[in-house]
């Protein structure tokens, strides 16, 4: 609610884009920050821990699909492509795909450099002879692919339903940008999380062990460290809410009492009960998946889902 701004007193030491996004996001009403900033080293580690949680079905379900359908991928995609993975992280799912389709190069893209380099080294060791060409960057911004893969047909790999972390208009823009980046003969293999029982969704984003809460709160730790913030962590609670109208799980950080704090020299106030909306995770019906891909310039050609219909992997052509 209340917002006061004072002039910037100290130059921010951190990534200027991080500073800009956070100061703008906290200045808005309701307060909202982009989810890309979760992924510092600690945030990336916590996300890996989320992937193993009993409540967090997406990673396990998608990995099962990748393991099970290798022969289908080999037939539908074939060998000889350069695989470009968007938001590669630890790239734990990637070996299943690479084994199935025998690519000629692998380009993992991720915003967290340290994490990306460690996982790329592990992957290069597991696939001797496969050129692994990591690219540090935000795939929502303009990127250029390494010269070494120019002229090769490409497969974009975008697992994890990370597309769901974007607003629908942003998701369409990203799919179109991927199509431009990957070129005419490209294919895209994308994971999308399905709409399901809200109770199941809420528990996936508010687990009993509190790992997702730690992941959400780590954003405040990062703001305090990198943007000279003084947000009192103990005065915030993690909340996961199903927004049925927008078919998405929202993560928020709720102020437990009235707060006054500083970030990068700016002052902010929050009322008790006010939240910072830190992430949306959109879920899709079967038709929504196809509509979204077509709006983004891709034609869906194959689709695989688990027996419970929790998650879906879709192959699309440019
Ligand atoms: C990365 N992304 C697809 C995850 C999701 O499910 O939206 C991030 C996440 N947030 C909380 N848990 C997992």
The protein residue with its alpha carbon nearest to ligand 1, atom 12, reads 205
| Cα–ligand 1 centroid distance for 48 (angstroms) | 10
pLDDT of 211-220, one tens digit each? Answer: 999 999 999 9
pLDDT at 276: 98
Instruction: Tell me if 90 CB under 6 Å of ligand 1.
Output: no
- Residues of the chain with pLDDT > 70, as a percent, come to 96
With a threshold of 0.90, tell me whether the complex ipTM lies above it. Answer: yes
Angle between helices 113-126 and 41-51 (to 10 degrees): 50
Instruction: Tell me if 50 CB under 6 Å of ligand 1.
Output: yes
| Cα–ligand 1 centroid distance for 135 (angstroms) | 22
| Cα–ligand 1 centroid distance for 29 (angstroms) | 23
| Residue pointed to by tokens 């945030």 | 43
* Paired residues of 110 in beta bridges: 136
Instruction: Tell me if 160 CB under 6 Å of ligand 1.
Output: yes
pLDDT at 197: 98
- Whether 112 and 138 have beta carbons less than 8 Å apart is answered as no
Phi, psi angles (nearest 5°) of residue 270: -135, 140
pLDDT of 157-176, one tens digit each? Answer: 999 999 999 999 999 999 99
pLDDT at 209 over 50: yes
Instruction: Tell me if 161 CB under 6 Å of ligand 1.
Output: yes
| Cα–ligand 1 centroid distance for 167 (angstroms) | 14
Instruction: Tell me if 191 CB under 6 Å of ligand 1.
Output: no
User: Which structure tokens are listed for 25?
Assistant: 């996001």
pLDDT at 125: 95
Q: Is 250 helix (H, G, I), strand (E, B) or coil?
A: strand
How many C-beta atoms surround the C-beta of residue 11 within 10 A?
A: 10
pLDDT of 66-98, one tens digit each? Answer: 999 999 999 999 999 999 999 877 778 999 999
- Residues of the chain with pLDDT > 90, as a percent, come to 86
Confidence of residue 11 (pLDDT cuts 50, 70, 90): very low
Instruction: Tell me if 205 CB under 6 Å of ligand 1.
Output: yes
The protein residue with its alpha carbon nearest to ligand 1, atom 3, reads 162
| Cα–ligand 1 centroid distance for 190 (angstroms) | 15
- Average pLDDT over the chain reads 93
| Cα–ligand 1 centroid distance for 15 (angstroms) | 23
pLDDT of 243-291, one tens digit each? Answer: 999 999 999 999 999 999 999 999 999 999 999 999 999 999 999 999 9
| Cα–ligand 1 centroid distance for 281 (angstroms) | 7
- CA distance from start to end of the chain: 45
How many C-beta atoms surround the C-beta of residue 101 within 10 A?
A: 21
Confidence of residue 13 (pLDDT cuts 50, 70, 90): low
CA distances from 312 to 102, 171, 190, 202 (A): 23, 17, 8, 19
- Identify the weakest region by mean pLDDT among 54-58, 120-124, 136-140, 204-208: 136-140
**Strand 154-158 relative to strand 82-86: parallel, antiparallel, unpaired?**
parallel
Instruction: Tell me if 119 CB under 6 Å of ligand 1.
Output: no
Residue range 188-212: mean pLDDT, rounded: 98
| Residue pointed to by tokens 């949306």 | 280
């Amino acid at each position: 609610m209340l917002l006061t701004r004072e002039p910037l007193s100290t130059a921010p030491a951190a990534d200027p884009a991080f500073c800009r996004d956070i100061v703008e996001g906290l200045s808005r009403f309701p307060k909202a920050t982009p989810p890309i900033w979760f992924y510092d080293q600690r945030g990336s580690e916590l996300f890996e821990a989320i992937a193993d949680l009993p409540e967090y079905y997406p990673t396990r379900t998608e990995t099962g699909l990748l393991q099970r359908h290798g022969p289908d991928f080999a037939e539908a995609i074939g060998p000889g492509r350069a695989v470009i993975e968007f938001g590669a992280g630890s790239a734990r799912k990637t070996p299943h795909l690479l084994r199935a389709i025998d690519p000629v190069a692998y380009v993992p893209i991720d915003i967290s450099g340290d994490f990306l380099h460690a996982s790329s080294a592990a992957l290069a060791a597991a696939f001797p002879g496969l050129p692994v060409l990591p690219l540090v960057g935000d795939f929502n911004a303009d990127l250029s692919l390494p010269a070494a893969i120019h002229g090769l047909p490409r497969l974009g790999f975008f697992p994890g339903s990370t597309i769901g972390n974007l607003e629908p208009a942003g998701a369409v823009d990203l799919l179109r940008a991927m199509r431009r980046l990957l070129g005419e003969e490209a294919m895209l293999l994308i994971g999308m999380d399905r709409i399901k029982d809200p109770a199941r969704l809420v528990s996936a984003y508010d687990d009993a062990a509190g790992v997702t809460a730690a992941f959400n709160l780590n954003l405040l730790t990062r703001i305090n460290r990198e943007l000279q913030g003084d947000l009192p962590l103990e005065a915030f609670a993690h909340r996961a809410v199903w927004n049925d109208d927008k078919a998405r799980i929202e993560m928020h950080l709720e102020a437990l009492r009235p707060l006054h704090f500083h970030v990068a020299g700016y002052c902010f106030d929050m009322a008790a009960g006010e939240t910072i909306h830190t992430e949306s995770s959109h879920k899709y019906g079967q038709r929504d998946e196809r509509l979204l891909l077509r709006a983004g310039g891709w034609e869906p050609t194959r689709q695989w889902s688990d027996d419970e219909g929790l998650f879906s992997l879709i192959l699309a052509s440019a």
